[in-house]
């Protein structure tokens, strides 16, 4: 496989590496749809468009002189009737694109023109942040590399993110726990490498992240890992994988091919996803205040046929809904499955085939073949990973085949996303009342990085 990847990179070298991946634009506004109450509250004569409620400084919107209270009616050639249109246009825009905005202010019709400004880049108090790219069959993907100040041939950590299609470019959120985790690694002398999935952040997206299956994503990750190994400032004999959540499934598959010096997994998954979902439906509701064991058991039993058709047989949501019982369950449990009837190919924001291909991975077998040192970490407040069982099973499997190579670590009050939370119930409450993001950015759990760095030192 490595030869195949290297050949692919060489083929694309002249066509892609010579290209610089342009930065996406920072449009920088918040908008809301117009309705009778908003029109009345703001004393608007304009009945169509979207109302600006926030303008960020040093963005395209601020250079266009837009203000809160303005009503956007047209962007370039597109008439605006819903805020989704604004998000779609701004999401795809790149620095240097031309913008012409038609809007009303105090019932006066105005037009502003400007070139889109680039998003600011991440910065690091401990080193340099390098924005690069790696060519793939889905287009150029953005790489973000944090490099400690004044290092040459440095050890590196390859970061594997979790399951959701969300950007890993934290230019707007410097206190995001993942960003602070990276800062700690860089401060300790490690280069940290991330790659954005197709269609996210600056990455091109011939096929968007949400439409990939797991095997396609794995191939992309291998290309990115090859890119890391090819860097002259990286000590290729001293590379570590850090797999977060679903990244723990990818980690041993990469290790089989590339043999990193060590693997760290945080909030890992060991069971099949079929089993994980059943455990989730039985155990997670407790932390959200559901006390009825009968109710949880009923959810598990009703879900088994649906999960089997989806994860084992690989059927689409549309096919699954042909069964009246499944249709009723999906209609009643859209939040549980993160399923939207208007998007019949997706569960949890990803194509249904992603989960069926992910479910086919034999995690136990993959971990049994790992020759690297492994640290499996569980945070005691993590209600998403459910329990310490997954991390402990990984360590047991590694040690069964390579005695002494696996280490289990428990981080008190560690939650799923690297924050410090008092308990699983408290974390569920924060999520339930939409207070989690703000809380997490103020309560990063530094013990996670500290313990990881301590462990790395023990295997050197």
- Which tens digits make up the pLDDT trace of 371-401? 999 999 999 999 999 999 999 999 999 999 9
Please give the C-alpha separations between residue 154 and each of 160, 190, 240, 331, 439, in angstroms, as whole numbers.
19, 6, 12, 52, 34
- Which tens digits make up the pLDDT trace of 282-293? 999 999 988 888
At 328 the pLDDT is 86
What global pTM score does this model have?
Answer: 0.91
At 442 the pLDDT is 97
At 334 the pLDDT is 66
| Distance between CA atoms of residues 130 and 337, nearest Å | 37
Residue that is written with structure tokens 């670590």 in the block: 409
| Distance between CA atoms of residues 254 and 366, nearest Å | 10
Residue that is written with structure tokens 């996406």 in the block: 24
CATH tag, 29-115: 2.30.42.10
At 337 the pLDDT is 80
Q: In the chain, where are the structural domains located?
A: 29-115, 127-272+360-458
At 342 the pLDDT is 63
| Distance between CA atoms of residues 289 and 43, nearest Å | 43
Closest CA to 243 of 254, 234, 233: 254
| Distance between CA atoms of residues 428 and 285, nearest Å | 9
At 9 the pLDDT is 42
Same fold, 29-115 and 127-272+360-458: no
At 13 the pLDDT is 40
Dihedral, CA of residue 258, residue 264, residue 270 and residue 272, to nearest 10: -50
At 6 the pLDDT is 43
At 138 the pLDDT is 96
At 258 the pLDDT is 96
- Residue partners of 264: CB distance under 8 A and separation at least 6: 157, 240, 241, 242, 243, 374, 375, 377, 452, 455, 456
- Which tens digits make up the pLDDT trace of 11-37? 344 334 435 899 999 999 999 999 999
| Distance between CA atoms of residues 276 and 270, nearest Å | 9
* Domain at 127-272+360-458, CATH from 3.40.50.720, 1.20.120.160, 3.40.50.12780, 3.40.50.1820: 3.40.50.1820
At 443 the pLDDT is 98
- Please list the ranges in the chain whose pLDDT falls under 70: 1-19, 334-335, 341-343
């Amino acid at each position: 496989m490595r030869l195949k990847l290297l050949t692919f990179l060489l083929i694309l070298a002249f066509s892609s590496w010579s290209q610089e991946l342009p930065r996406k634009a920072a449009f920088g506004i918040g908008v809301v749809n117009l309705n009778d109450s908003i029109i009345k509250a703001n004393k608007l004569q304009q009945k169509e468009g979207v109302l600006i409620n926030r303008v960020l400084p040093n963005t395209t919107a601020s250079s266009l002189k837009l203000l809160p209270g303005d009503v956007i009616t047209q962007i370039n050639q597109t008439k605006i009737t819903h805020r989704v249109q604004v998000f779609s246009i701004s999401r795809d825009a790149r620095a240097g694109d031309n913008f012409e905005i038609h809007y009303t202010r105090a019932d006066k019709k105005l037009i502003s023109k400007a070139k889109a400004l680039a998003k600011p880049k991440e910065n690091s108090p401990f080193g340099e942040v390098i924005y690069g790219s790696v060519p793939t069959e889905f287009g150029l993907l953005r790489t973000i590399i944090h490099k400690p100040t004044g290092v040459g041939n440095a050890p590196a950590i390859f970061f594997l993110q979790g399951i959701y299609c969300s950007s890993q470019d934290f230019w707007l959120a410097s206190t995001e726990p993942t960003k602070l985790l990276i800062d700690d690694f860089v401060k300790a002398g490690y280069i940290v490498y991330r790659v954005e999935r197709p269609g996210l952040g600056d990455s091109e997206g011939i096929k968007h992240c949400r439409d990939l299956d797991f095997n396609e994503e794995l191939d992309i990750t291998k290309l990115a890992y090859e890119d890391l190994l090819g860097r002259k400032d990286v000590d290729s004999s001293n590379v570590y994988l850090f797999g977060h959540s679903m990244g723990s499934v990818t980690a041993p598959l990469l290790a089989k091919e590339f043999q990193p010096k060590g693997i760290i997994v945080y909030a890992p998954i060991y069971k099949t996803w079929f089993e994980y979902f059943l455990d989730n439906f039985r155990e997670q509701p407790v932390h959200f205040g559901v006390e009825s064991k009968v109710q949880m058991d009923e959810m598990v039993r009703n879900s088994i046929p649906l999960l089997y058709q989806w994860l084992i047989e690989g059927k689409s949501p549309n096919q699954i809904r042909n069964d009246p019982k499944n249709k009723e369950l999906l209609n009643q449990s859209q939040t549980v499955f993160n399923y939207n009837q208007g998007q019949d190919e997706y569960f949890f924001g990803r194509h249904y085939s992603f989960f069926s291909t992910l479910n086919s991975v034999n995690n136990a077998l993959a971990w049994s073949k790992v020759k690297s040192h492994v640290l499996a970490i569980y945070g005691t407040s993590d209600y998403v990973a459910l329990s310490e069982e997954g991390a402990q099973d990984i360590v047991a499997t590694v040690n069964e085949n390579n005695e002494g190579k696996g280490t289990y670590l428990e981080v008190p009050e560690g939650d799923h996303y690297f924050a410090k939370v008092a308990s699983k119930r408290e974390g569920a409450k924060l999520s339930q009342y939409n207070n989690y993001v703000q809380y997490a950015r103020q309560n990063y759990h530094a013990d996670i990085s500290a313990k990881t760095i301590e462990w790395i030192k023990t295997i050197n």
